[in-house]
Amino acid sequence: MGHTFAICPQCQGLNKLNSDDALKKTPLCGKCGKEISLHGLVSEVNTQNFERILKKSDLPVVVDFWASWCGPCKSYGPEYEKASKENTNAVFLKINTEAEQMLSAKYNIRGIPCTLLFKNGIEVKRQPGAMSAQDVRNFLNSP
């Protein structure tokens, strides 16, 4: 049984959520009780919340850097969401490159979508371009 992390949009509380429970029903914030919106097991985060989750996670963290105007990003979104549901051994995050330009620059994101994998808070690999859910699984589990 896996878990994921999500930030409450109301109180900004960091929540560790049981993956199975989060897939069955809308999770509630443990601090304020408000609903937490997920896409599968994917959380959209800003820079501050990304760094909070990266520090707290005991699981690998997979991050999709994307933008709303990007056609390949739009086609990748559902596959990324599907991958999150099938791989509860990782935390899946999305970062909007338009809203988080400084973070995108920090990680040298030059093309989108771009998927990064972090272990113990350190980037261990990246894959530019859209992938299938199976490709994401292979990306996550390959050395």
Residues with catalytic roles: 70, 73
Cα–Cα distance for residue pair 143/131, rounded to 1 Å: 18
**Mode of pairing for the β-strands spanning 42-44 and 3-7:** unpaired
Number of H helices, E strands in the chain: 5, 7
Q: What is the spatial distance between Cα 80 and Cα 40, in angstroms, rounded to a whole number? A: 9
Of the CA atoms within 13 Å of residue 55, those in its CB half-sphere come to 7
The DSSP annotation for 93-139 comes to EEEETTT-HHHHHHTT--SSSEEEEEETTEEEEEEES---HHHHHHH
Rounded CA gap, 40 and 2, in Å? 13
